[in-house]
């Protein structure tokens, strides 16, 4: 592997830059997937299963086919065959078996959206229902230990935690619950697919064009080189547009029967609750043992989560407790209850978001038990090395975040007594919680840098650089950030960078996920720039070109790398109605070098708003009889609105970390949500004396 020999000198990096695509976005002219100009796209509307488990015994499409404007109706009886590699989730219309409510059973192609929808409603399906289980029961006999988490082991035990708990001077044991949650990006998942012979062109709302290409290649038994996936603007993803879901396979499958024509399918809002993933519910048992001075001697965090028989994703909630605090003895475990429901998936801060609700609520409960200030309790348990790996930290400024946050929030004046501040009919309280999120780098991105103009080129201007990488812009600000990084790596002004992203024509690339986009893509661009300058210097000829793939981090096995944060919130709970409001939130973060302060603030704010939303609003309710989400729209599934959000303050500390990557950046897309729900629950306890251990925190808890 190679490493950059030139130091990365931040010039554009670190300065506020408005989004290059911003002027288009505020006019609404930045084209999202189904807005891609193209003629004669057919509209797809699906027929979905109304039971959680069973078999299709008969399907009648005649009435649908008779409708004017209907071009084709596909069912499992006549749909083109997919490769055997297509798994249960991706094996769309391949068999009569029903694995989950909402599963696609047929698809109509029509010349208008109205006709497609009407025709889908005319398809009649006979099914035989089979017994199913749809609701999480942690005592289910089917509970199992998964082979591994996405990152890390299923279980991890150090020392003898049960003995340490038995010997501890103070023990806190509590069970916390978090609900099934849905991502609900504003742009519903969408695909436009067209076959040109054996070549498949797909416009897709995705966080990773490479991953979409890979999944479609597997489903259709094609070489990846036969598939192009394009995604220029994505209306939010939050994890649900990371993996490829049945809707994408269905659209490409349906397009197969109309060669040369585009087929478009944007999910309805209701359908986004069926087939495109969710954060699974968790039950989390936490025990903390400590001495009278508040030094932790034991931590146990045992998690049971909702799972699916058709696709495993384990919410790694206990992993949060592996690195936060020092304790001689520690146990973290994960168990899954398989259900007849759709597959869960990554959702913003998977693991950390629900795990921190349990872990950081427990720390607050322990602080109260001990009579120690909750900020001080956390400071006393600051580890010297990473408790999980034993490695030194590349940088860890959690204590600095806590101290700075406490100072800015006015924490020193806080009276710890609960239920002691009633103002105009509202009980007021404040709470704190800590946050962490790992620094992740996905391998396998490819970047190409090409001189445009310059010597022997057209025009008289200075050389420009086309920088190509199949990165995704999902709103996080990749275009601005990568433009700045490329400019600094090439030592030119940003105006001379022409960044091109969102197309597999530019090679493979890691996802916009894991808060790893800037690290993975940025490190790759820096590497390509290094090679370009080694080869051509700073006065290249038109067309000079260099490429690189993501370098390994030479420090990866020497240091533990994480971002940290501290949340301070004020809560008000109405004394009569129990209504809970959050008038003030402060988040202080230590997350390496901030590339673009303007958009970074939005990422932190957005994460904190997600934390508020999870704390107070979000809960998908499953109907055990049919296995569907009952509140499957934005009137039933509440996300935070403008009026739910009070004053939000964001601050970050200067942090110079030479080990994470050449730019010195850590991920910032997810840490904003981590710990917020705990901070709000802790503040609600301070306000009312009522400890809420189950999300969302609703008014009935206080009545």
By beta-carbon proximity to other proteins, the closer residue of 288 and 582 is 582
Q: Which stretch binds other proteins (CB under 8 A): 234-242, 297-305, 463-471, 490-498?
A: 234-242
Find the shortest distance in angstroms from Cβ 202 to other proteins.
Answer: 19
By beta-carbon proximity to other proteins, the closer residue of 183 and 686 is 183
- Does 423 bind other proteins (CB under 8 A)? Our answer is no
- Does 186 bind other proteins (CB under 8 A)? Our answer is yes
Q: How far does CA 380 lie from the centroid of its chain?
A: 31
By beta-carbon proximity to other proteins, the closer residue of 278 and 393 is 278
Determine which helix (DSSP H) or strand (DSSP E) holds 289, and give its type and residue range.
Answer: strand 282-290
DSSP class of residue 691? P
344 in Cβ contact with 308 (< 8 Å): yes
Whether the bond into 696 is cis, omega within 30 of 0: yes
Site of tokens 């038995």: 166
Distance CA 334, CA 659 (A): 31
Sheet holding 124-129, edge to edge: 97-98, 54-60, 124-129
Sheet holding 562-574, edge to edge: 422-423, 426-438, 562-574, 580-590, 647-652
- Does 690 bind other proteins (CB under 8 A)? Our answer is no
- Does 642 bind other proteins (CB under 8 A)? Our answer is yes
- Two tokens, residue 412: 């020193």
Distance CA 269, CA 266 (A): 9
Find the angle CA(570)-CA(575)-CA(577) to the nearest 5 degrees. Answer: 105
Find the shortest distance in angstroms from Cβ 683 to other proteins.
Answer: 19
By beta-carbon proximity to other proteins, the closer residue of 186 and 420 is 186
Q: Which stretch binds other proteins (CB under 8 A): 49-57, 407-415, 562-570, 630-638?
A: 630-638
Count of beta carbons in the 10 Å neighbourhood of residue 491: 12
By beta-carbon proximity to other proteins, the closer residue of 36 and 698 is 36
Q: How many residues bind other proteins (CB under 8 A)?
A: 61
51 in Cβ contact with 127 (< 8 Å): yes
Cα–Cα separations (whole angstroms), residue 451 to 494, 498, 538, 548 = 14, 10, 10, 15
Q: Which of 49, 266, 299, 481 binds other proteins (CB under 8 A)?
A: 266
Find the shortest distance in angstroms from Cβ 643 to other proteins.
Answer: 4
- Does 345 bind other proteins (CB under 8 A)? Our answer is no
284 in Cβ contact with 302 (< 8 Å): yes
Q: Which of 114, 196, 407, 579 binds other proteins (CB under 8 A)?
A: 114
Find the shortest distance in angstroms from Cβ 327 to other proteins.
Answer: 34
- Helix, strand, or coil here: 161? helix
In this structure, what are the phi and psi dihedrals at residue 679, rounded to the nearest 5 degrees?
Answer: -60, -40
Site for other proteins in 27-46 (CB under 8 A): 27-32, 35, 37
Active site residue 77: no
- Two tokens, residue 60: 């009648």
- Does 112 bind other proteins (CB under 8 A)? Our answer is yes
- Does 696 bind other proteins (CB under 8 A)? Our answer is no
Site of tokens 């499958």: 253
Q: How far does CA 260 lie from the centroid of its chain?
A: 35
Q: Which of 158, 269, 500, 531 binds other proteins (CB under 8 A)?
A: 269
Q: Mask: binding to other proteins, 124-163, rule CB under 8 A, as x and -?
A: ----------------------------------------
Count of beta carbons in the 10 Å neighbourhood of residue 118: 18
By beta-carbon proximity to other proteins, the closer residue of 161 and 477 is 477
- Does 181 bind other proteins (CB under 8 A)? Our answer is no
Q: Which stretch binds other proteins (CB under 8 A): 317-325, 402-410, 498-506, 644-652?
A: 644-652
Selecting among 118, 204, 468, 670, the annotated active-site residue is 670
By beta-carbon proximity to other proteins, the closer residue of 110 and 202 is 110
Q: Mask: binding to other proteins, 279-318, rule CB under 8 A, as x and -?
A: ----------------------------------------
10 in Cβ contact with 17 (< 8 Å): no
316 in Cβ contact with 336 (< 8 Å): no
By beta-carbon proximity to other proteins, the closer residue of 180 and 639 is 639
Distance CA 193, CA 212 (A): 12
Q: Which stretch binds other proteins (CB under 8 A): 250-258, 421-429, 471-479, 485-493?
A: 471-479
By beta-carbon proximity to other proteins, the closer residue of 91 and 611 is 611
Distance CA 597, CA 603 (A): 10
Q: Which of 391, 575, 634, 690 binds other proteins (CB under 8 A)?
A: 634
Distance CA 150, CA 316 (A): 8
Distance CA 683, CA 241 (A): 34
- Two tokens, residue 287: 């025990």
By beta-carbon proximity to other proteins, the closer residue of 444 and 583 is 583
Q: Mask: binding to other proteins, 597-616, rule CB under 8 A, as x and -?
A: -xx-xxx-xxxxxx--x---
331, 187, 325, 190: which is closest to 248 by C-alpha? 190
Cα–Cα separations (whole angstroms), residue 222 to 219, 226, 504, 511 = 8, 7, 15, 21
593 in Cβ contact with 692 (< 8 Å): no
Q: Which stretch binds other proteins (CB under 8 A): 73-81, 86-94, 184-192, 278-286?
A: 184-192
Burial class (CB in 10 A: 0-12, 13-18, 19+), 561: buried
Q: Which stretch binds other proteins (CB under 8 A): 143-151, 182-190, 291-299, 313-321?
A: 182-190
Find the shortest distance in angstroms from Cβ 233 to other proteins.
Answer: 7
Distance CA 187, CA 475 (A): 11
By beta-carbon proximity to other proteins, the closer residue of 561 and 648 is 648
Q: Which stretch binds other proteins (CB under 8 A): 126-134, 261-269, 285-293, 651-659?
A: 261-269
In this structure, what are the phi and psi dihedrals at residue 606, rounded to the nearest 5 degrees?
Answer: -65, -40
Q: Which stretch binds other proteins (CB under 8 A): 15-23, 158-166, 324-332, 681-689?
A: 15-23
- Does 22 bind other proteins (CB under 8 A)? Our answer is yes
- Two tokens, residue 9: 């000198």
- Does 643 bind other proteins (CB under 8 A)? Our answer is yes
Find the shortest distance in angstroms from Cβ 184 to other proteins.
Answer: 6
- Does 534 bind other proteins (CB under 8 A)? Our answer is no
Site for other proteins in 579-598 (CB under 8 A): 598
By beta-carbon proximity to other proteins, the closer residue of 28 and 197 is 28
- Helix, strand, or coil here: 619? coil
Orientation angle between helical segments 209-220 and 246-255, nearest 10 degrees: 60
Q: How far does CA 554 lie from the centroid of its chain?
A: 27
- Does 448 bind other proteins (CB under 8 A)? Our answer is no
- Does 23 bind other proteins (CB under 8 A)? Our answer is yes
- Does 66 bind other proteins (CB under 8 A)? Our answer is no
- Identify any residues that bridge with 264 across adjacent strands, giving them in sequence order: 43, 192
- Does 19 bind other proteins (CB under 8 A)? Our answer is yes
Q: Which stretch binds other proteins (CB under 8 A): 3-11, 112-120, 489-497, 651-659?
A: 112-120
By beta-carbon proximity to other proteins, the closer residue of 156 and 187 is 187
571, 180, 617: which is closest to 364 by C-alpha? 571
- Does 549 bind other proteins (CB under 8 A)? Our answer is no
Active-site annotation, residues: 670
* Residues at the contact surface with other proteins, assessed by CB under 8 A: 18-19, 21-23, 25-32, 35, 37, 112-115, 183-188, 233-236, 238, 266, 268-269, 474-477, 598-599, 601-603, 605-610, 613, 633-635, 639-645, 647-648
């Amino acid at each position: 592997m190679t490493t950059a020999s030139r130091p990365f000198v931040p010039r554009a990096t670190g300065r506020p830059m408005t989004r290059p695509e911003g002027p288009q976005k505020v006019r609404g002219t930045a084209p999202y997937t189904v807005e891609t100009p193209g003629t004669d796209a057919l509209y797809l509307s699906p027929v979905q299963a109304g039971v959680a488990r069973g078999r299709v015994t008969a399907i009648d499409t005649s009435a649908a086919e008779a409708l004017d404007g209907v071009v084709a109706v596909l069912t499992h009886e006549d749909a083109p065959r997919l490769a055997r590699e297509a798994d249960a989730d991706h094996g769309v219309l391949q068999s009569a078996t029903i694995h989950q409510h909402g599963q696609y059973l047929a698809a109509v192609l029509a010349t208008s959206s109205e006709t497609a929808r009407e025709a889908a409603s005319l398809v009649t399906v006979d099914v035989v229902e089979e017994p199913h289980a749809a609701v999480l029961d942690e005592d289910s006999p089917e509970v199992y230990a998964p082979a591994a988490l996405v990152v890390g082991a299923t279980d991890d035990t150090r020392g003898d935690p049960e003995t340490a708990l038995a010997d501890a001077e103070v023990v806190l044991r509590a069970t916390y619950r978090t609900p099934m949650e849905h991502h609900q990006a504003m742009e519903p998942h969408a695909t436009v697919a067209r076959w040109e012979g054996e070549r498949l062109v797909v416009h897709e709302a995705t966080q990773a064009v490479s991953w979409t290409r890979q999944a479609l290649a597997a489903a259709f038994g094609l070489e990846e080189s036969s598939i192009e996936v394009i995604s220029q603007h994505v209306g939010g993803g939050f994890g649900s547009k990371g993996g490829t879901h049945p809707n994408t396979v269905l659209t490409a499958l349906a397009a197969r029967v109309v060669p040369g024509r585009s087929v478009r399918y944007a999910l309805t809002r209701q359908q986004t609750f069926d087939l495109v993933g969710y954060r699974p519910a968790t039950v989390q048992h936490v025990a903390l043992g400590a001495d009278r001075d508040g030094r932790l001697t034991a931590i146990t965090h045992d998690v049971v989560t909702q799972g699916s028989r058709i696709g495993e994703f384990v919410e790694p909630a206990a992993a949060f407790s592996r690195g936060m605090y020092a304790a001689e003895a520690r146990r973290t475990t994960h168990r899954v209850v398989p259900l007849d429901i759709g597959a869960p998936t990554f959702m913003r801060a998977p693991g950390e978001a629900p795990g921190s609700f349990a872990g950081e609520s427990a720390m607050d409960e322990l602080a109260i038990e001990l009579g120690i200030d909750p900020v001080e309790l956390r400071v006393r348990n600051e580890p010297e090395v990473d408790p999980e790996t034993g490695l030194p930290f590349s940088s860890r400024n959690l204590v600095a975040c806590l101290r700075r946050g406490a100072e800015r929030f006015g924490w020193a004046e806080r009276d710890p007594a609960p239920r002691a501040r009633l103002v105009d009919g509202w009980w007021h309280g404040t709470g704190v919680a800590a946050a962490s999120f790992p620094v992740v780098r996905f391998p396998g991105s490819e970047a190409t840098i090409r001189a445009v103009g310059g010597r022997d080129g057209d025009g008289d201007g200075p050389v420009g650089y086309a920088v190509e990488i199949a990165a995704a812009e999902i709103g996080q600000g990749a275009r601005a950030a990568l433009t700045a990084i490329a400019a600094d790596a090439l030592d030119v002004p940003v105006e001379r960078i022409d960044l091109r992203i969102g197309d597999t024509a530019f090679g493979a690339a890691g996802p916009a996920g894991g808060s790893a986009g800037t690290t993975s893509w940025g490190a790759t661009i820096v590497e390509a720039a290094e090679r370009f300058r080694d080869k051509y210097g700073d006065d290249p000829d038109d067309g000079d070109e260099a490429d690189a793939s993501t370098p390994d981090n030479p420090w990866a096995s020497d240091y533990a790398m994480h971002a940290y944060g501290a949340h301070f919130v004020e809560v008000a709970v109405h004394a009569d109605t129990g209504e809970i409001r959050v008038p003030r939130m402060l988040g202080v973060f230590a997350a390496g070098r901030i590339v673009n302060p303007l958009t970074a603030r939005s990422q932190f704010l957005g994460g904190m708003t997600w934390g508020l939303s999870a704390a107070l609003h979000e809960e998908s309710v499953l109907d055990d009889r049919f296995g569907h989400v009952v509140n499957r729209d934005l009137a039933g599934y509440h996300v935070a609105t403008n009026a739910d959000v009070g004053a939000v303050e964001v601050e970050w500390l200067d942090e110079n970390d030479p080990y994470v990557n050449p730019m010195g950046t850590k991920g910032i897309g997810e840490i904003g949500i981590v710990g917020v729900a705990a901070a709000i629950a802790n503040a609600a306890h301070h306000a009312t004396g009522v400890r809420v251990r189950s999300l969302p925190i609703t008014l009935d808890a206080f009545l």
